[in-house]
C-alpha cells in the first residue's frame, strides 16, 4: 500500500507536479477545517437543540429554555408511541418509501432504456414528454388528482400517495437513466438475437446490472425525498389515516400545544432514518451525483 | 448472408428492426401510463378547471370564462402572494447558491479528510424542510423560545420580538429559515464541478501572475458555468414552490401576509372551497416556472458560450 502509493507519488513527481504529491498539513488548511466545523455546528444548532430537549419535560423546557437535561431517559420516546399513533405513522412512511422506490426501479430504468432504443423522432418525443414533468410543480396537478382519487375511492390511502409520487419521480428518473444509458455501449444487447419476452430477460440480466451506478444514485435520492416529503401526504391523507411521520408531527403541533418535548422527540425520530439511509449509501450517492452533475 | 439474398434479407432486417422498436416501446408503456395519469392528464384538467366555478365538492360546475383569472389579477391577496414568491424564490436562489459555492470552495481547499468534511457539510441537508421549520417554530416562540431567551440572556431584551407574528418582518424570517443551510446537493454539485477544472489551467494562470481573485473570476468561474446553470435553475424551481415553511411557521399569517403562490393554491383550493379559482392560480404558477426556467437557461447558456 505505502510502497505503491510512494512509487506513484515519485513517478508523478518526476513527470508533472512535484508540489502536489507532498501532502503536508498547512495552517491554511487547519483554519479552513475550523471554519467548516463552526459553520456545520451553527446550521445544526436547531437539530441539536431539539435533541437535547427531547430528553427534558415540558416544565423544564419552558422554565429554563437554555437548560440541559437533568436526567437521561427515554420517557418522551416511549410516551410518543403510547400517547399518539406515531408507530402507525412510522409504518406508513416506511411502506410509502419502500414500495415507491421498488416500483420506480421496476418501471423507470426499463422505460428510459426503451426510450433510447426506440430512438428517432418517437424516442425524442417520449423523452421530452417525460422531461416536461420537471417543470410541472405538484401544486399544478394536485386539485384534479384529489378529485380523481375521491371518485375511485382511493383518497386517503397509501396507494394514492404512492401513485402520485411515482408520476412525480418518473421525470427525474428518465432524465438520469437516459443520460447514463447514452454513455455506455449497448452492443451486448444488440448481439443477442431475441424477441419479445426474450428481450425483457436480456434487459434485466444484461442491461440492468450495467445501470447500477445510476440506480444507486436514483434510489438514494428518491428514498430520502420520499421519507422527508410533507406536502403530498398532507394533501392525500386525511384524519382517517395516521398519516406519515411528518403529517403526524404536523397534527401534534396543533393538538398537543403544551407538549413541546414530544414534538422535539418526533423530529429527532424522523431524522434518524434519513441519516441511516445516507450513511449506508453515501459512497454511491456522492459518486452518482457527481457524475450526473459534471455531465449535465 | 450471401450477396444474392441481400434484397429479401434487407426487408427481413427492416421488419425485424420495426418489431424491435415496438418491443422497446412496450418497455416504456407501464411508466408512461402512470406518468400520463398522474402528471399530464391532471395538469390538463387543471387548465380546464381554471375556467369553471367548481367548489371542489359538488358534482357539477359552470364554465365562467376568464372570470377566475380577472378576479385573481384584481386581488390584492394574490399579488401579495406573488410578491412573496418572487422575494423568497429569487432571494433563496441567490443566497443558497452563494453559500453553496462558498462551502464548495472551502471543501476544495482541503487536501486531507475531504470526504469526512464533505459528509459533515452534507448532514444538515438530510433534515427535511418540514422538520427544520417545525423546530424553528418553537425556537422562535415569543415567551419560551431559544432565540428570544438568548437575546434576553445576552442583554438585548429589546431585540426579542414576535418573529412570526410581526407583519413587517415575517417574510424575511421565512427567507432566513429557508436559507439557513449549507446547501447539500447544491454544494456537492459545485464541488464536483470545481474538481473537474483542470489543474494545469489554474497553474498556467498563476504562472502568468494572476492573483487568487483573478484566477477565480477568469478561470474557475467560466469553467463551472454549467454547474451554476443547473443549480440556479433548480433553486429557482424549488423557490417558486416554497410551501412547507409557510404552512408550518405561519399558515400564511398574520392574515394573508406571508402567503406564497404554492400556499395560496392549497388554501384557496382545499380550505376555501374554490377549486376553480385555485386551479387558475396553479396555471399561473406553472407559467412562472416555465418562463423562469427557460429564461435562466437561455441567459446562462449564452454566458457559458462567451466564457
Question: Which of B26, B115, B130, B200 should one mutate to test binding to chain A, selecting the residue with the greatest count of A CBs within 10 A?
Answer: B130
Longest dimension (CA), chain A: 76
Cα–Cα distance list, B265 to A147, A167, B39 (Å): 15, 20, 17
- Is this model's pTM higher than 0.90 or not? no
Tell me if residue A21 falls in helix, strand or coil.
Answer: coil
On whether residue A16 sits in a domain, the answer given is: no
The three grid cell numbers given for residue B105, joined into one nine-digit string = 470552495
- The pLDDT value recorded for residue A4 is 42
Contact indicator for A207, A232 with CB cutoff of 8 Å: no
- Per-residue pLDDT band at B176 (split at 50, 70, 90): very high
Confirm whether the ipTM is greater than 0.95. no
Residue of A nearest to B144 (CA): A62
The yes-or-no verdict on residue B218 having pLDDT over 90 is no
On whether residue A288 sits in a domain, the answer given is: yes
On whether residue A249 sits in a domain, the answer given is: yes
For chain A, the domain total comes to 1
Mean pLDDT of B51-63: 87
On whether residue A9 sits in a domain, the answer given is: no
Q: Which fold has domain B75-306?
A: MetI-like fold (1.10.3720)
What are the extents of the domains in chain B? 3-49, 75-306
Q: Rounded to a whole number, what is the distance in angstroms from the first to the last CA of chain A?
A: 35
Separation of alpha carbons B133 and A262, rounded Å: 16
Q: Which helix (H) or strand (E) element contains residue B96?
A: helix B76-109
- The pLDDT value recorded for residue A21 is 55
Separation of alpha carbons A207 and A204, rounded Å: 6
Pairwise CB contact (< 8 Å): A46 & B135 = yes
The yes-or-no verdict on residue B71 having pLDDT over 80 is yes
pLDDT, tens digit, for every residue of B103-128?
999 999 998 888 889 989 999 999 99
On whether residue A61 sits in a domain, the answer given is: no
- The pLDDT value recorded for residue B257 is 94
pLDDT, tens digit, for every residue of A56-113?
888 888 888 888 888 888 888 988 898 888 999 999 999 999 999 999 999 999 999 9
Question: Which of A114, A172, A274 should one mutate to test binding to chain B, selecting the residue with the greatest count of B CBs within 10 A?
Answer: A114
The three grid cell numbers given for residue B227, joined into one nine-digit string = 454547474
- The pLDDT value recorded for residue A61 is 84
Segment among A161-165, B171-175, B207-211 with least mean pLDDT? B207-211
- Per-residue pLDDT band at B302 (split at 50, 70, 90): confident
Separation of alpha carbons B58 and A238, rounded Å: 19
On whether residue A232 sits in a domain, the answer given is: yes
The three grid cell numbers given for residue B155, joined into one nine-digit string = 442583554
Nearest to A261 by CA among A40, A42, A89, A63: A63
- The pLDDT value recorded for residue A296 is 37
Low-confidence residues of chain A: pLDDT under 50: 1-18, 293-296
User: Which CATH number goes with the domain that contains A120?
Assistant: 1.10.3720.10
Cell numbers 434518524 correspond to what residue?
A272
B140 CB within 8 Å of a chain A CB: no
For residue A255, what are the contacts with CB-CB under 8 A and spacing of at least 6? none
Cα–Cα distance list, B146 to A45, A53, A150, A156, B160 (Å): 10, 11, 43, 37, 11
On whether residue A158 sits in a domain, the answer given is: yes
How many whole angstroms from its chain centre is CA A186?
29
For residue A243, what are the contacts with CB-CB under 8 A and spacing of at least 6? A89, A92, A233, A234, A237, A250, A251
- The pLDDT value recorded for residue A285 is 66
Q: Which residue segment(s) compose the domain that A211 sits in?
A: 84-295
Nearest to B89 by CA among B192, B271, B236, B204: B236
The rounded percent of chain A whose pLDDT value lies above 70 is 84
Contacts B122 to A, Cβ<8 Å: 278
Q: Helix count (H) and strand count (E) of chain A?
A: 15, 0
Q: Is A179 exposed, middle or buried (0-12, 13-18, 19+ CB in 10 A)?
A: middle
A286 CB within 8 Å of a chain B CB: yes
- The pLDDT value recorded for residue A9 is 40
- The pLDDT value recorded for residue B1 is 44
pLDDT, tens digit, for every residue of A212-239?
888 988 888 899 999 999 999 999 999 8
Separation of alpha carbons A90 and B166, rounded Å: 35
Mean pLDDT of B181-207: 89
- The pLDDT value recorded for residue B95 is 97
Contact indicator for B304, B229 with CB cutoff of 8 Å: yes
Segment among B37-51, B151-165, B260-274, B289-303 with least mean pLDDT? B289-303
- The pLDDT value recorded for residue A288 is 59
On whether residue A170 sits in a domain, the answer given is: yes
**Closest to A140 (Cβ–Cβ): which among B137, B188, B286?**
B286
- The pLDDT value recorded for residue A278 is 82
Amino acid at each position: 500500500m505505502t510502497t505503491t502509493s510512494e512509487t506513484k507519488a515519485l513517478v508523478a513527481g518526476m513527470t508533472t507536479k512535484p508540489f502536489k504529491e507532498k501532502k503536508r498539513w498547512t495552517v491554511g488548511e487547519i483554519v479552513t477545517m475550523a471554519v467548516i466545523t463552526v459553520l456545520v455546528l451553527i446550521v445544526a444548532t436547531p437539530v441539536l437543540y431539539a435533541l437535547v430537549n427531547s430528553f427534558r419535560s415540558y416544565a423544564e423546557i419552558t422554565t429554563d429554555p437554555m437548560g440541559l437535561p437533568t436526567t437521561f431517559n427515554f420517557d418522551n420516546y416511549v410516551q410518543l408511541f403510547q400517547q399518539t399513533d406515531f408507530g402507525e405513522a412510522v409504518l406508513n412512511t416506511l411502506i410509502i418509501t419502500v414500495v415507491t422506490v421498488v416500483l420506480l426501479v421496476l418501471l423507470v430504468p426499463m422505460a428510459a432504456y426503451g426510450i433510447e432504443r426506440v430512438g428517432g423522432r418517437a424516442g425524442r418525443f417520449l423523452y421530452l414528454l417525460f422531461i416536461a414533468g420537471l417543470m410541472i410543480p405538484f401544486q399544478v396537478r394536485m386539485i384534479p388528482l384529489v378529485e380523481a382519487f375521491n371518485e375511485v375511492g382511493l383518497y386517503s390511502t397509501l396507494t394514492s400517495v404512492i401513485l402520485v409520487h411515482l408520476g412525480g419521480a418518473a421525470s427525474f428518473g428518465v432524465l438520469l437513466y437516459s443520460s447514463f444509458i447514452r454513455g455506455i455501449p449497448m452492443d451486448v444487447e444488440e448481439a443477442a438475437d431475441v424477441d419479445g419476452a426474450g428481450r425483457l430477460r436480456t434487459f434485466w440480466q444484461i442491461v440492468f446490472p450495467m445501470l447500477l451506478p445510476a440506480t444507486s444514485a436514483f434510489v438514494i435520492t428518491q428514498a430520502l425525498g420520499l421519507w422527508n416529503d410533507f406536502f403530498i401526504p398532507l394533501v392525500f391523507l386525511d384524519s382517517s389515516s395516521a398519516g406519515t411521520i411528518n403529517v403526524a408531527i404536523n397534527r401534534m403541533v396543533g393538538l398537543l400545544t403544551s407538549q413541546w418535548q414530544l414534538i422535539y422527540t418526533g423530529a429527532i425520530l424522523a431524522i434518524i432514518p434519513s441519516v441511516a439511509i445516507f450513511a449506508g449509501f453515501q459512497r454511491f450517492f456522492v459518486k452518482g451525483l457527481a457524475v450526473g452533475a459534471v455531465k449535465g | 448472408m450471401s450477396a444474392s439474398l441481400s434484397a429479401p434479407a434487407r426487408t427481413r432486417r427492416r421488419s425485424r428492426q420495426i418489431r424491435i422498436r415496438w418491443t422497446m416501446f412496450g418497455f416504456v408503456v407501464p411508466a408512461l401510463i402512470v406518468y400520463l395519469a398522474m402528471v399530464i392528464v391532471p395538469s390538463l384538467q387543471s387548465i380546464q378547471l381554471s375556467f369553471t366555478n367548481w367548489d371542489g365538492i359538488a358534482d357539477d360546475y359552470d364554465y365562467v370564462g376568464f372570470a377566475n383569472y380577472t378576479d385573481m389579477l384584481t386581488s390584492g391577496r394574490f399579488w401579495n402572494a406573488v410578491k412573496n414568491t418572487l422575494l423568497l424564490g429569487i432571494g433563496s436562489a441567490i443566497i443558497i447558491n452563494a453559500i453553496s459555492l462558498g462551502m464548495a470552495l472551502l471543501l476544495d481547499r482541503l487536501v486531507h479528510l475531504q470526504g469526512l468534511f464533505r459528509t459533515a457539510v452534507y448532514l444538515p441537508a438530510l433534515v427535511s424542510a418540514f422538520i427544520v421549520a417545525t423546530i424553528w417554530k418553537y425556537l422562535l416562540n415569543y415567551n419560551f423560545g431559544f432565540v428570544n431567551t438568548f437575546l434576553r440572556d445576552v442583554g438585548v431584551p429589546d431585540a426579542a420580538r414576535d418573529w412570526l407574528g410581526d407583519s413587517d418582518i415575517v417574510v424575511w424570517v421565512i427567507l432566513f429559515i429557508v436559507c439557513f443551510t449549507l446547501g447539500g446537493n447544491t454544494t456537492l454539485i459545485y464541488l464536483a464541478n470545481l474538481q473537474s477544472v483542470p489543474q494545469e489551467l489554474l497553474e498556467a494562470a498563476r504562472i502568468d501572475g494572476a492573483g487568487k481573485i483573478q484566477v477565480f473570476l477568469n478561470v474557475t468561474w467560466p469553467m463551472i458555468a454549467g454547474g451554476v446553470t443547473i443549480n440556479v435553475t433548480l433553486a429557482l424551481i424549488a423557490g417558486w414552490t416554497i410551501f412547507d415553511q409557510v404552512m408550518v411557521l405561519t399558515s400564511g399569517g398574520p392574515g394573508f401576509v406571508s402567503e406564497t403562490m404554492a400556499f395560496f393554491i392549497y388554501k384557496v383550493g382545499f380550505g376555501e372551497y374554490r377549486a376553480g379559482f385555485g386551479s387558475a392560480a396553479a396555471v399561473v404558477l406553472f407559467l412562472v416556472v416555465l418562463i423562469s426556467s427557460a429564461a435562466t437557461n437561455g441567459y446562462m447558456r449564452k454566458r457559458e458560450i462567451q466564457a
